[in-house]
Structure 1
Amino acid sequence: MICLDEMGPQASKSYPGRRLVRPAGPKAERATQEIDYGRRDVAGYVFGALRAATGDAFTATYTGRTTANWIDFLAQLEGWIDPAVERVYAVVDNLNTHSAMDVLLFNPAHPRWEFVFQPKYAAYLNLIEPWWKVLRSLALKGRRFDAWAEIEDAVTRATAYWNAHKHPFVWGRRRRHRTPRRPGIAAVPNVALI
């Protein structure tokens, strides 16, 4: 199973990061960021695929979200997937470019592909959605971009970093604040005997 989607539009601008501000006495400073005025370049889109079971990721950048770009992305993805895989289940959302006539014609040419459309208003079912947050953190957070080419380079390097340190991507939230269980004898349930 492969989760497919696009992240965008992304523009060349400053992306806010987090910086620790240490309080200096009774009056603490506030974290500030330089205001980013104006547009410097055309926005673009990042198309991505995530194999949740292994953690493998594949991204490609495009200047627009068109059917032709989506078909080109699927063709690149076909080359990325191992030819020994007999069936490819691609989980996608209900965007009109994902179900266009050219995409429907992609299926007979590639019979191992099967598109699974997630229900409307259920983006959380696609595992690539939380992975986009990770990619934004690796590629964009806390940086300033003056051109679309810089964003493309940052996304390429972040994807390579992710693939070098990949792990299976698990759906759901981690439970951080769970009280540890004490080993020992279980408590007797509070029931009345008749």
Structure 2
Amino acid sequence: MCADELGPVIPRTFPPAPGWSPDGHRIKAELDYSRGPEKTWVYGGLRVADGQQVTMTASSRNSVFYQRFLALLEDANPTGDIYVVTDNLSSHNSLSTRTWLEDHPRIRHVFIPVGACWLNLQEGWWRIFRKAALAGQSFAGPDEITRATRIATTQLNARAKPWIWGRPPPPTRQLRRRYIYCL
């Protein structure tokens, strides 16, 4: 499993677009852009073998929510060992997380080197997720972000394929037409 956190995703609202008056003049609206104080973090784990994703939203990025997320990963993978490829964040290495991992021997961490986030395949999935769930959206609160996350994850899991690190091989070229020149 490749795991990572996305965020913070902040609820924000935009005013409606200005309209036109009956006599054809544009109505000017004051700029009213607001960000709520609530921040939402999206935890994600990509199972590389089949492309299935497990996501969870949380109000902060700390050891408690990370351990809840690891419990979700464990429930989603009922058999075998689980190797979690992740970055070296403090919540991944905290004493409480290491203590929690001792009680769950199936889960093992594999940390990627500092500055090499591109090695984590979860980063590529976040790009697809942002397009499907967050792009162009206006969220009023954390509940709407959670709902958008759940819907996008379900839709992306419906068409999931195995993930392969690297660029796909170029397609094989068909033979070009052969011309015969007669003199």
- The alignment's C-alpha RMSD in Å is 2.6
Per-residue CA deviation, residues 17-47 of structure 1 (Å, 9 max, x unaligned), is xxxxxxxxxxxxxxxxxx7712134111000
1:136 aligns with 2:130: yes
- Work out the CA distance in 2 between the residues paired with 1:129 and 1:39: 25
Per-residue CA deviation, residues 135-182 of structure 1 (Å, 9 max, x unaligned), is 111101122111111111000000011111111122224578x79353
Q: Secondary structure at the match of 2:146?
A: helix
- Work out the CA distance in 2 between the residues paired with 1:166 and 1:59: 14
Contact 1:41 1:148 in 2 (8 A): no
> Equivalent residues in 2 for 1:1-40 (5 A)?
2-13=1-12, 37-40=33-36
Paired letter, 1:104: R
> Equivalent residues in 2 for 1:91-110 (5 A)?
91-110=85-104
1:182 aligns with 2:175: yes
Pick closer, same or farther for the CA change 1:134–1:124 going to 2, 3 Å. same
Paired letter, 1:9: P
Give the % identical residues.
36
- Which range is displaced more, 68-77 or 114-123? 68-77
Equivalent of 1:164 in 158, 172, 177: 158
Q: Which residue of 1 aligns with 2:41?
A: 45
Pick closer, same or farther for the CA change 1:14–1:55 going to 2, 3 Å. farther
Q: Which residue of 2 aligns with 1:152?
A: 146
Equivalent of 1:67 in 63, 68, 81: 63
- Work out the CA distance in 2 between the residues paired with 1:120 and 1:171: 18
Gaps of 5+ in 2: 15-30, 178-183
Moved over 6 A (4+): none
Paired letter, 1:168: P
**Residue 111 of structure 1, CA deviation:** 1.1
- Work out the CA distance in 1 between the residues paired with 2:144 and 2:70: 24
Per-residue CA deviation, residues 66-121 of structure 1 (Å, 9 max, x unaligned), is 11111111112211212x22x11110101111100111112221112110000000
- Work out the CA distance in 1 between the residues paired with 2:130 and 2:119: 19
Gaps of 5+ in 1: 16-34, 185-194
Equivalent of 1:76 in 72, 79, 91: 72
Pick closer, same or farther for the CA change 1:145–1:174 going to 2, 3 Å. farther
TM normalised by structure 1 equals 0.76
- Work out the CA distance in 1 between the residues paired with 2:34 and 2:147: 22
TM normalised by structure 2 equals 0.80
